[in-house]
């Protein structure tokens, strides 16, 4: 926690405790989904001896050691649980899935048949696994980028105990996974570089809706890789760019394209732009050029909302605040993004003085079924009111969650229930219009 917390240390502690309780609740939902290897070893060994098991594939998460230290054991347990659930969804009906050992970082699927003999079968599995996390929060996307898949054949040999054949095959598959992982990183780096250089980036816009009357307040700009490039990346565009150390270049390109391609928002609408901290470092010529373009198009400063992620270092905080203060004085708006399941820093909230606080989508999803999530959301709602900000609930996907948020008095919402991200043309002229489909 940073020094001189303006809300008081006890309040910061209470918020951290609520956040930790929500993370623990998320993790507990996914524990114990798959048996251990020891529990299925005899069954699979018999299948190998009878030539009914042709091979196996592994999901190796050993690269997540640093991620677990940063996010915590609860977040890692939740991720492993979600991976186990996804594995159950993509394996064959007769295949056997397990975790290598209790607390292990490796999932194993034994293929009962010839599914892995064909070239490229593992790529299909990888794509389907990642598809199960299509709208996961950025921290989960960062974890997925570090996960590796490998496979190995398991051939019966009457002179060798089939259980040892299984253990050896798992070692081969894990080694293959690590080799394939590094090759995949090199391919992703090339793809990201070409996307930036050729501006082959899709710009989509998702409505931010006032919940009291279902009217469109503005749009958040979202960037995605185009078509085939998205399949080659296999992970979120910004996650791949960060690993390739091109996140700054991608951030600038996406921001410029978002302003250039924005929907017609008239005099009432707002455009929400995601920004990495270096956007606001002193004398950033790209930022100045973008602001000149914005004003040159007849747009007011208060129609542009910069979204700053709460996941920011103390050093970055110190560097961005002089520019942030100058922009605020000129009338530009700010939103504090990704607030919720991480421990919100109240010092940042006080210094940034955001006009909007965006509640993390993982907190919104399932809020109708979770007393702990409702308690944390209420806490954030109260903080927003005291800070003179409006709370935006991201990730609204069900009517039950929407109803709870409305009852709490949350001002604004965003999510697939209220409107999917689409090209600008789909939203032209929609500012201040009612989202009528929800009423039907």
Q: What is the DSSP string of 257-272?
A: HHHHT----TTT-EEE
53 and 186 together in one domain: yes
Lowest mean pLDDT, pick from 46-60, 65-79, 126-140, 384-398: 126-140
3-class secondary structure, 365:
coil
Can you give the pLDDT at residue 12? 65
CATH number at 375 reads 3.20.20.450
Q: Tell me the C-alpha distance between 220 and 427, whole Å.
A: 12
Can you give the pLDDT at residue 291? 93
pLDDT tops 70 at residue 415:
yes
Count structural domains, the chain: 2
166 and 208 together in one domain: no
242 and 172 together in one domain: no
338 lies in which domain range? 201-439
Lowest mean pLDDT, pick from 55-59, 329-333, 381-385: 381-385
122 and 39 together in one domain: yes
269 and 330 together in one domain: yes
pLDDT tops 50 at residue 48:
yes
Q: Model confidence at 401, in pLDDT bands (50, 70, 90)?
A: very high
Can you give the pLDDT at residue 165? 93
The mean pLDDT of 362-376, rounded to a whole number, is 90
> Is 61 part of any domain?
yes
Can you give the pLDDT at residue 183? 87
3-class secondary structure, 334:
strand
Give per-residue pLDDT as tens, 260-314.
Answer: 999 999 888 999 999 999 999 987 899 999 999 999 999 999 999 999 987 788 8
pLDDT tops 50 at residue 154:
yes
242 and 305 together in one domain: yes
The mean pLDDT of 120-144, rounded to a whole number, is 80
Percent of the chain with pLDDT over 90: 51
Q: Is the dihedral of CA 123, 126, 131, 134 positive or negative?
A: negative
Which one is predicted more confidently, 12 or 224? 224
> Is 20 part of any domain?
no
388 and 242 together in one domain: yes
**Which residue, of 162, 192, 222, is where some domain finishes?**
192
**Which residue, of 192, 212, 236, is where some domain finishes?**
192
Can you give the pLDDT at residue 98? 94
Lowest mean pLDDT, pick from 334-348, 369-383, 391-405: 334-348
Lowest mean pLDDT, pick from 154-158, 175-179, 342-346, 353-357: 342-346
DSSP H or E run through 229: helix 227-233
259 and 324 together in one domain: yes
CATH number at 89 reads 3.30.70.270
Segments of 192-347 assigned E as strands: 201-210, 215-225, 270-275, 304-309, 333-339
**Which residue, of 130, 164, 192, is where some domain finishes?**
192
> Is 360 part of any domain?
yes
> Is 126 part of any domain?
yes
293 and 413 together in one domain: yes
Can you give the pLDDT at residue 364? 92
CA atoms within 13 A of residue 204's CA, in its CB half-sphere: 11
Strand partners, 70: none
> Is 14 part of any domain?
no
> Is 272 part of any domain?
yes
The mean pLDDT of 138-159, rounded to a whole number, is 88
> Is 3 part of any domain?
no
252 and 394 together in one domain: yes
88 and 105 together in one domain: yes
pLDDT tops 70 at residue 341:
no
The mean pLDDT of 67-90, rounded to a whole number, is 87
The rounded mean pLDDT for the chain is 86
DSSP H or E run through 356: strand 356-359
Percent of the chain with pLDDT over 70: 90
Give per-residue pLDDT as tens, 86-129.
Answer: 999 889 899 999 999 988 899 999 999 776 666 677 877 887 88
Q: Model confidence at 440, in pLDDT bands (50, 70, 90)?
A: very low
Q: Model confidence at 1, in pLDDT bands (50, 70, 90)?
A: very low
389 and 325 together in one domain: yes
Can you give the pLDDT at residue 299? 95
> Is 253 part of any domain?
yes
């Amino acid at each position: 926690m940073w020094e001189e917390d303006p809300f008081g240390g006890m309040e910061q502690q209470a918020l951290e405790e609520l956040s930790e309780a929500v993370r623990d609740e998320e993790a507990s939902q996914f524990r114990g989904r798959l048996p251990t290897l020891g529990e299925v070893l005899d069954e699979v060994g018999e299948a190998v001896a009878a030539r009914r098991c042709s091979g196996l594939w592994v999901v190796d998460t050993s690269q997540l050691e640093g991620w677990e230290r940063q996010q915590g054991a609860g977040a890692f347990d939740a991720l492993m649980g979600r991976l186990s659930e996804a594995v159950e969804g993509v394996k064959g009906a007769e295949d056997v899935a397990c975790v290598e050992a209790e607390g292990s970082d490796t999932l194993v699927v034994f293929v009962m048949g010839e599914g892995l003999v064909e070239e490229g079968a593992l790529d299909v599995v990888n794509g389907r696994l990642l598809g199960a996390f299509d709208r996961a929060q950025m921290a989960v996307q960062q974890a997925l980028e570090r996960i590796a898949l490998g496979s190995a054949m398991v051939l019966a040999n009457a002179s060798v105990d089939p259980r040892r054949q299984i253990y050896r095959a798992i070692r081969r598959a894990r080694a293959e996974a690590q080799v394939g992982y590094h090759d995949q990183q090199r391919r992703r780096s090339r793809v990201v570089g070409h996307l930036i250089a050729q501006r082959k980036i899709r710009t989509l816009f998702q409505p931010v809706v006032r919940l009291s009357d279902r009217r469109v307040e503005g749009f958040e700009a979202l960037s995605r890789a185009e078509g085939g490039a998205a399949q080659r990346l296999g992970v979120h565009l910004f996650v791949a760019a960060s690993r390739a150390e091109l996140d700054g270049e991608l951030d600038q390109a996406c921001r410029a394209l978002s302003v250039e391609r924005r929907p017609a928002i008239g005099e009432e609408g707002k455009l929400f732009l995601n920004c990495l901290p270096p956007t606001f470092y002193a004398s950033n010529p790209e930022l100045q050029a973008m602001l000149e373009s914005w004003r040159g198009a007849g747009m007011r400063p208060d129609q542009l909302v910069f979204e700053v992620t709460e996941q920011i270092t103390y050093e970055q905080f110190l560097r961005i605040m002089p520019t942030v203060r100058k922009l605020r004085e000129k009338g530009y708006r700010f939103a504090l993004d990704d607030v919720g399941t991480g421990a919100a820093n109240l010092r940042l909230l006080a210094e940034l003085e955001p006009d909007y606080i965006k509640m993390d989508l993982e907190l919104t999803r399932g809020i109708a079924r979770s007393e702990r999530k409702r308690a944390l959301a209420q806490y954030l709602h109260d903080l927003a009111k005291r800070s003179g900000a409006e709370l935006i609930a991201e990730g609204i996907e069900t009517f039950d969650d929407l109803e709870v948020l409305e009852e709490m008095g949350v001002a604004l919402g965003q999510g697939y229930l209220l409107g999917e991200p689409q090209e600008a043309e789909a939203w032209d002229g929609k500012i201040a219009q009612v989202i009528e489909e929800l009423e039907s």
